[in-house]
Amino acid sequence: MAEPLLSGVNHVALAASDVDATVAFYCEAFGLEATDFSTDDERSVLLFFPNGSFVQVISAGPGRVVEAPLNEASGNLILDGAPIDHMSLFATDIAALEAIRDRLVSLGASDGQIFDTAGVAFTLGFSDPDGRRLEVTAYP
């Protein structure tokens, strides 16, 4: 078998109506550290996971500036407005999933129900401050 070409997800970008509220939510719910990469033209905050992948929270709406299309080498690869069906974060284990559940319930972001997918995975649904339906998954 050939060597894999991918090693995982690098990042997911979430457009937020209130970047600060969304960042505060993800930091409180998941214990992530925020790194602000904002410029004069755009709010952009990176929330890093221990493996180096991250969630990027960017400002949404008509004031967004997109300076370069994907094929230019300027480094500005931010795309404008493509929706994401959903994202599932990966809990380190079942105990971590349960701790995350407690945090999400206390934030009013989840009813706390963990779904067992035939013993293959355990998944908890939640909503972020912009109303996105998301998941956290752990393997047994």
Asked whether the whole model's pTM tops 0.85, one would answer no
Question: What is the per-residue pLDDT for 71?
Answer: 41
How many Cβ atoms sit within 10 Å of the Cβ of residue 46? 18
pLDDT of residue 46: 94
pLDDT attached to residue 68: 38
Read off the pLDDT of residues 33-74 as tens digits, 9 standing for 90 and up: 999 988 887 888 999 998 888 999 988 765 554 443 444 444
Q: What is the pLDDT of residue 82?
A: 57
Burial class (CB in 10 A: 0-12, 13-18, 19+), 27: middle
pLDDT at 84: 66
Strand partners, 36: 45
Coil/strand/helix, residue 28: helix
- Residue given tokens 């998954």 in the structure block: 137
- Residues in the chain predicted with pLDDT less than 50, given as ranges, are 65-77
**Tokens (6 digits) for 31:** 């214990």
Short-list 69, 21, 79, 76, CA closest to 45 = 21
Token readout for 41 is: 């033209």
**pLDDT confidence of residue 126:** 94
Q: What is the pLDDT of residue 133?
A: 87
Residue 96 CA neighbour count, 13 Å, CB half: 12
CATH number listed for the domain at residues 11-138: 3.10.180.10
pLDDT of residue 72: 45
End-to-end CA gap in the chain: 27
Classify strands 121-127 and 133-138 as parallel, antiparallel or unpaired.
antiparallel
Domain residue extents for the chain? 11-138
pLDDT of residue 81: 56
DSSP code of residue 32 = P
